[in-house]
Amino acid sequence: MPERNDRVKLGFKGIAAYLVLWIVSTALVLVDMVLVRSACMELLAWYAKVRNIADTAARFSFGFVVDAVDRGLLLVMAVAGLGAAIGLEALYRHLAEHRRLLRDGWKVPAILVGLALISLLIRFAL
C-alpha cells in the first residue's frame, strides 16, 4: 500500500499567513472574552440602577445573582477559549489544505473584531 503524504506545501506566504492569522485570532478571542464579560457586568449594573434596588435584602439577593452570572461567564469563557483554540486550528488547517487561506482566512478576525466592537458599544452606551 503506498504511503499517503498529508503535508501541504504552503510556501513562505502561506506559512506566514497561517501563523499571523492564528496568533491574531487567538489574541482577539482573548480580548473578546474579556470585553463580553465586562459588557455583561455593565448590563447587570445598569439593571440594578434602573430597578433602583434600595432594600438591603434585595441588594444581597441581587449580589448573589451577579456572583452566579460572573462565575457562569468565567466557566463559559474557559470552555469557549478551549473550543476557539481547537476550532481555529482546524479551520486554518482546512483552509490551508484547500489553498484558500489567503482568500478566506481574514473572515475570522473580522468577525472577532466585530464582536469586540459590539461589546465595547454595549459597555460604553450604558
Place of cell 501563523: 19
Q: Please compute Rg for the chain using Cα positions.
A: 21
Residue 8: pLDDT band by 50, 70, 90 thresholds? low
Does residue 74 lie within any of the structural domains?
yes
pLDDT in tens, 91-118: 888 887 777 877 888 888 998 899 899 9
What is the 8-class DSSP label of residue 98?
Answer: T
- Whether residue 85 lies inside any domain: the answer is yes
- Burial per residue of 70-90, b for 16 or more beta-carbon CB atoms within 10 angstroms, e otherwise: eeebeeebeebeeebeeebee
For the stretch 33-53, pLDDT in tens is 899 999 998 998 888 888 887
Across residues 63-73, what is the average pLDDT? 91
Q: Does residue 18 sit within a domain?
A: no
Instruction: Give me the domain span that covers residue 91.
Output: 33-125
User: Does the model's pTM come out above 0.85?
Assistant: no
The answer to whether residue 87 sits within a structural domain is: yes
